[in-house]
Every structure is written in C-alpha cells, then in structure tokens.
Amino acid sequence: MIEASKLSFSYGNKKILNNISFKIFENDRLCIIGPNGSGKTTLLKSLCNILDFQGSVFIDNKNIKYIEVYKTVAFMSQISEIYFDYSVFETVMLGRYSSFKDKFFSTPDKKDNEIVLECLERVKIIHLKDKSINELSGGELQKVFLARVFAQNPKIILMDEPANHLDLNSQMELIYNLKEWVSKEERCIVAVMHDINNVFNFANKILLLNKGEILYFGDCENFNLELLNKIYNVNVVEYMKNSLTKWL
C-alpha cells in the first residue's frame, strides 16, 4: 500500500533522511522507532507529502506528488493545534470534510453525523460530544483527534506518538482499536512510538531509524533487540528485565 524509494530530506545543508526505501502492504502495522532526532516525524510527514522530499513515495502504485493524498491518508500529528473553540462533535466532524466538501451545499448529512457518533463511541468519549475542546485534558483531546482520524475513513493512518497523554488503560484501548481497525478491508497503519512495550504489543513490522538511515526494517519476530542497546547506548533488554522483576 505504501512504497518509499530512495527518500531523502534535508533542512538546508543538514541531512535528515538519507536514501530511505521500504514497502508495506495491506493490514500491516508498522512502527517507526529510534532515538530523538533520528528523522521519524520527518519520515511521517514525507509519506503524506507535507514536506518537499527527494525520491519517491507511492500509495497504491500512485505517486503522492500527483494525487489528493487526504482522500486516502489520515495524519495524526504529535502536536495538534487548536485554533477555534469547537465542540468535540464539531472537531471530529472535520474528519468528514473530504466526504461532503464536493456536495452542492457543502454541509454534513445524516450519514456524516452517524459516522461521527460511531467514532466517538469507539474511543469512549461520546459523553463529551457537546463539550468544548478547550476544556479537555490532554488525554481526552488525544482521543478526540483519534476519533477525527477514524471519521475520515482513510485507507492509511499515519500517527506520531498516538499514546501521548493517555493513561495505561487508554493506551491498551488505543492499541486494541487500531489493531481492530487495520484488520478490516485494505488498510495499514504507520506509527511513530517510543514505548517499546507498546511497539511490540501493536506492530507486526518495525522500521528502526538512526541518524536518518534505516538500521532495520522487517518483521517484529526477527528484530534483534541488541540493536536497541547500540542506538540508545544503554542495555535496554536488561533494563526491561529488571523492571519486570518488580511485578513478580
């Protein structure tokens, strides 16, 4: 569903991504991991054509430079700006914009309203639908943006730290919701995550970035955990094992 070929990006003279190539297919759940500054968010933004990158990105064999990406791809950024005092319902309805913008009166219809309510139910915030988004906690707001992504009904979801601000139970619900969503129809998800436990609970594929280059791309079960020790300069496996002993 997504193919990146020799993708590179620079800010001025500083190279951020260098010759990135990979393919993912329907129902894939890809997690991009790596240390801060490795190019993870830049890669996500390139995959939805926000940045003027070098190389090529194809969605369903179509070059994203020449298609309306928003009709296929939903992007949930790490930091979502709030410009207006919308209600939760109105904010999630923004995800339906691509479905009704070409209609004669350009207004949502009964089906759009039903889809928004379904998405609010899915992330368990239907009780907040009439509340101003400016009155929400960080975790509640993150769920609103997730509902908005679902409301868009994309084939591909790109997510930058989707578990931000979520408590443990909400993180578990997030992973369940995303895995259920991607298992249906021709869909895939690419997510940047830092929590290694969430990565292995969610992903079937991993892309490890370091200094703008791919150190590993492939299935989770073939991932060499020693690579984490190398890029984070700490014994990650030993740290995880020591943490586990506190629960036994």
Distances 90 to 6, 86, 144, 162, 239 between C-alpha atoms, Å: 40, 6, 10, 21, 44
Which pLDDT score, from 0 to 100, does residue 17 have? Answer: 96
Does domain 1-72+154-248 fall under CATH 2.40.30.170? My reply is no
In sequence order, the 6+-apart residues with CB closer than 8 A to the CB of 29 are 178, 179, 182, 188, 189, 191, 202, 203, 204, 205
Domain with CATH 3.40.50.300 in the chain: 1-72+154-248
Which pLDDT score, from 0 to 100, does residue 85 have? Answer: 84
Which pLDDT score, from 0 to 100, does residue 175 have? Answer: 94
DSSP secondary structure letter of residue 88: H
What are the structure tokens assigned to 117, written together?
């309510």
> What pTM does this model have?
0.90
pLDDT along the chain (248 residues), means of 10: 95 92 96 94 94 94 90 83 82 81 66 94 95 91 93 94 90 93 93 93 96 95 91 88 86
